[in-house]
Chains A and B, each alone.
Chain A
Amino acid sequence: MTMLDLTIAEALDALAAKRISAVELTEAHIGAVEALNPRLNAFITTTPDIARDRAKAADAARAAGNAPALAGIPLAIKDLFCTEGVRTTAASKILAPFIPPYESTVTARLKAAGSVMLGKANLDEFAMGSSNITSGFGPVENPWQRADGAKLVPGGSSGGSASAVAARIALGATGTDTGGSIRQPASFCGIAGIKPTYGRCSRFGIVAFASSLDQAGSMARTVEDCAILLGAMSGFDEKDSTSADRPVPDFRAACARGVKGLRIGIPAEYRVDGMAPEIEKLWQSGIDWLKRAGADIIDVSLPHTQYGLPVYYIVAPAEASSNLARYDGVRFGARVDGEDLIDLYERTRAAGFGAEVKRRVMIGTYVLSAGYYDAYYLRAQKVRALILRDFTEAFAKIDALLTPTAPSAAFAIGEKMDDPVTMYLNDVFTVPASLAGVPAMSIPAGQDARGLPLGLQVIGRHFDEETVFAVSSAIERAAGFTALPGLRAGATP
């Protein structure tokens, strides 16, 4: 065991006890990034100089007795968070030259908490994807390996973050989740990840994909680590009108609460046709673990679940088509000159956007068009309200829901690539919570027959991340997930 295997909680203890220094911890991670990133492609940009500066500052603060909460903790920052003076690409060629003159609220908070930024993590272009193959900077590889030797996807869109944390080249990471972009890659890479309630973290400075769904969250190797990170990321921000002006509870403390007496709902509609037996089995294990820990298991119905995907694939592209209009080559980012203004737009966007982004911009433009708006966008909004109502009604009877995170384990790069709709099905279990804005977390809970990790999902009430952490911790303890990916820092390949 090396410093790279520490959890954030353990690292904070070791730093506090001066058994290790932030500089040592950071150097170990910089070395691991240098060794593994050429293979994993988890980072688009690495920032070793910034990391070293911050590590020194963290050690100095600790020596002076005023170390902030995350002093010296090396993190991967999804390259969707704008970082002042550090290139921020959203994994799109159109932003390849973009260096923001400002810092996102979430990363500003993590910086103020003393954390160490190792670099900007790869993702699907503009966070649109479930496999990280849509990145304009090349796909990310999942550190877990299959016997057939095929390179596996880490999931998406926060695939770089998940891969980095799983491969032990970062202690934790930020992610963003629009329809499952934290939870699905966490499940594919065998780590924990939480999408908090919409409004819990400020969206200021996060490159927007679908504004009514985008939410930042944390990814780490334990539930407690996710709680520690999320605590530092959360809170009201007057620069984001949709951020919630309410106190941030002690998420870390909630992890130890236990589940005795909690009512856990099992939604019938998540038992989809053709679900892999091992996923079905894992779900049953989760139910048994919680029952044994003292929770009451209640069957519930979320009747509009089947409409989640179609609604999501109307609402998210609609908002994206508008949010991405600003990438026009006029003020920042890449530009391809043209004969006139329209030609400049067309050439710039044709060259700058990848196929999946173009597809969603076109879908979004279509569903908002005159004559189609009522049939698509308006109807989708109505169904979205029904999906929210499903959750509200269920949460009158239960405290949290337990479901699988994804319908499969990680697949290989190249698989499921022919038909975008097959790819969209990855989000079937994660999308409803996004549409409802409720918090949801994926916990590594087991492995499939080929040894690949599988996750379970816990969904809670609006602004009740505490219960989500309590239930997730109980599953984590019972599951005893200790398997390690083949590709990881310190492992002999």
Chain B
Amino acid sequence: MSYTIGGETGPWELVIGLEVHAQIISKSKLFSGAATEFGAEPNSQVSFIDAGFPGMLPVINRECVAQAVRTGLGLDARINLISRFDRKNYFYADLPQGYQISQYDQPIVGAGTVEIELESGETRSIGITRLHLEQDAGKSMHDQHASKSFVDLNRSGVALMEIVSEPDMRNPEEAGAYLRKLRTILRYLGTCDGNMDEGSMRADVNVSVRKPGEAFRTRCEVKNVNSIRFVMQAVETEARRQIEVWESGGVVEQETRLFDPARGVTRSMRSKEDAHDYRYFPEPDLLPLVLDETWVAALKNDLPELPDAKRARLVRDFGISAYESAIFVMERATADFFETVAKGRDAKLVANWMLGDFFAALNRTGRNIEDSPVSAKNLGALLDLISDATINGKIAKEVFEIMVETGDTPGAIIEARGLRQVTDTGAIDTAIDRVLAANADKVAEYKSGKEKLFGFFVGQVMKAMAGKGNPALVNEALKTKLG
């Protein structure tokens, strides 16, 4: 059963398309040599080109073009060997030239696809319409002064990719899954850091509703949504608003809206009537962008393994489940970490540890995998110490927690704290004898058939040995002693 929202007149389907603005990772801007670092002093990374000074001309940054092509290849999309830049004209204080250089009808990348996985395990293909290059505007700040606005042009001219999807998504979950997957692919490619908090990835959400079986109805665009959760909320909020409009006999007008997450509503930003007339025309300061086929082929050759391929390979090579693999490949660093640890070890055990204690520790300490207190090498060493029976699983968890705190190697921790597993059968026997002697009543009960008590004896023996007894040897010796 497909996703619908029930209205008074029956069920409504959702139609969703996303336009994602992804900031390209590059040292300098799309058309100038100014730096792009986030968080610099306002107006410290601005060239005369970015500030729109008289007589300044744009010069395309080759690396930004390469990043767009890599992204296109990563989205399995057509690379247009000839594309063109256009000017999108409008006035605003943070748009120094009075126009944005963008690509209107001949973008650098054409149709492609993104595969998404849903919680049900089902996968879906979402079409990519196009990807084009454009420059970002500066930032207006209205909250610095009672009556004045300030403008920071550091972002002015930074390279963006606008990635436009087909209206292929049908519910908020799919929209969320698409964005997550797109973000993963961009991060794998190293073309965008996907950081929505810093604004390096932002989404415009196109939403319409319809009765099942109908053609598309009018859509509205919810602008500049800056988290995946908000995108999913915005879809539902806007869909419900439109259903109400239709069902109350109204007509949904095509317009641009803003999502207010605090109030859980979308608000009209500007209607079709006051929509900008951008007066697009070909940018006369730039020649058409012509790509060399062998250059594109070389970029393709150098692409990293992408998440879908990696997920299949981890399942194939390491025998972990598709579910486990999907979690690992979400971030390239996580998959790399897993592979490093799992190489030559029991991959199933590695997967269990990572999905359990390891991720829990990262969550608890608020760290990410790149600056994890427990390195892949140290986690591997810990698992080796379990495999060669130097420590048992219970002690291993203890050692792991100390590793999280101190960053020390498991070997050092074990030596320093005397946590080495006891395999000396004499010591085990002594501990068992003491436990049995102290619990004569329980021994009698056990012997009269209450076999459940066996676990109690194991626990008492391990406790007496400060947890360091080899569990297999303890079990075996206990069985012998209890007859």
Complex CA distance for A325 and B52, rounded to whole angstroms: 10
Within 8 A of B (CB), among A284-330: 318-319, 321-322, 324-326, 328, 330
Which residue of chain B is the closest to A341 with respect to CB atoms?
B93
Q: Quick check: is B3 within 8 A (CB to CB) of the other chain?
A: no
Complex CA distance for A204 and B151, rounded to whole angstroms: 26
- Measured between beta carbons, the chain A residues less than 8 angstroms from B93 are 328, 330, 341
Residue contact A82 to B55, C-beta cutoff 8 Å: yes
Which residue of chain A is the closest to B276 with respect to CB atoms?
A370
Complex CA distance for A370 and B276, rounded to whole angstroms: 10
Q: How far is the CB of A237 from chain B (nearest CB, A)?
A: 9
Q: Quick check: is B96 within 8 A (CB to CB) of the other chain?
A: yes
Total A-B residue pairs with C-beta atoms closer than 8 Å? 101
Q: Quick check: is B98 within 8 A (CB to CB) of the other chain?
A: yes
Q: Quick check: is B456 within 8 A (CB to CB) of the other chain?
A: no
Q: Quick check: is A458 within 8 A (CB to CB) of the other chain?
A: no
Residue contact B55 to A211, C-beta cutoff 8 Å: no
- Measured between beta carbons, the chain A residues less than 8 angstroms from B115 are none
Complex CA distance for A373 and B105, rounded to whole angstroms: 14
Stretch at the interface among A98-106, A400-408, A441-449, A468-476: A98-106
Number of interface residues of B (CB under 8 A): 30
Q: Quick check: is B66 within 8 A (CB to CB) of the other chain?
A: no
Q: A325-B98, A328-B91, A332-B53 are in contact. Are A318 and B59 (CB under 8 A)?
A: no
- Measured between beta carbons, the chain A residues less than 8 angstroms from B97 are 325-326
Residue contact A204 to B55, C-beta cutoff 8 Å: yes
Q: How far is the CB of B75 from chain A (nearest CB, A)?
A: 27
Q: Quick check: is A459 within 8 A (CB to CB) of the other chain?
A: no
Q: How far is the CB of B46 from chain A (nearest CB, A)?
A: 10
- Measured between beta carbons, the chain B residues less than 8 angstroms from A373 are 279-281
Complex CA distance for A332 and B280, rounded to whole angstroms: 25
- Measured between beta carbons, the chain B residues less than 8 angstroms from A324 are 98
Give 1 or 0 for each of A233-275: 1 = CB within 8 Å of chain B CB: 0000011111000000000000000000000000000000000
Which residue of chain B is the closest to A377 with respect to CB atoms?
B281
Which residue of chain B is the closest to A205 with respect to CB atoms?
B55
Q: Quick check: is A398 within 8 A (CB to CB) of the other chain?
A: no
Residue contact B91 to A325, C-beta cutoff 8 Å: yes
Q: By CB atoms of chain A within 10 A, which of B51, B98, B99, B280 has the most?
A: B98
Residue contact A238 to B48, C-beta cutoff 8 Å: no
Within 8 A of A (CB), among B47-79: 48, 51-60
Residue contact B54 to A369, C-beta cutoff 8 Å: no
Complex CA distance for A95 and B52, rounded to whole angstroms: 14
Q: Quick check: is B286 within 8 A (CB to CB) of the other chain?
A: yes
Q: Quick check: is A368 within 8 A (CB to CB) of the other chain?
A: yes
Q: Quick check: is A461 within 8 A (CB to CB) of the other chain?
A: no
Give 1 or 0 for each of A168-197: 1 = CB within 8 Å of chain B CB: 000000000000000000000000000000
Q: How far is the CB of B82 from chain A (nearest CB, A)?
A: 15
Q: How far is the CB of A211 from chain B (nearest CB, A)?
A: 4
Q: How far is the CB of B128 from chain A (nearest CB, A)?
A: 27
- Measured between beta carbons, the chain A residues less than 8 angstroms from B371 are none
Complex CA distance for A69 and B92, rounded to whole angstroms: 46
Residue contact B54 to A203, C-beta cutoff 8 Å: no
- Measured between beta carbons, the chain A residues less than 8 angstroms from B87 are 322
| 6 A-B residue pairings within 8 Å (CB atoms) | A81-B55, A100-B53, A100-B55, A204-B57, A331-B53, A331-B96
B residues apposed to A, CB below 8 Å: 48, 51-60, 87, 89, 91-93, 96-99, 149, 151, 277, 279-281, 284-287
Closest 5 CB pairs of A and B: A325-B98, A368-B279, A211-B284, A212-B284, A326-B52
A residues apposed to B, CB below 8 Å: 81-82, 88, 90, 95, 98, 100-102, 104, 203-208, 210-212, 238-242, 318-319, 321-322, 324-326, 328, 330-332, 341-342, 345, 365, 368-370, 373, 377
Q: A208-B55, A211-B284, A368-B89 provided; 7 other pairs, C-beta below 8 A? A: A206-B55, A322-B281, A325-B91, A326-B53, A330-B151, A369-B277, A373-B280
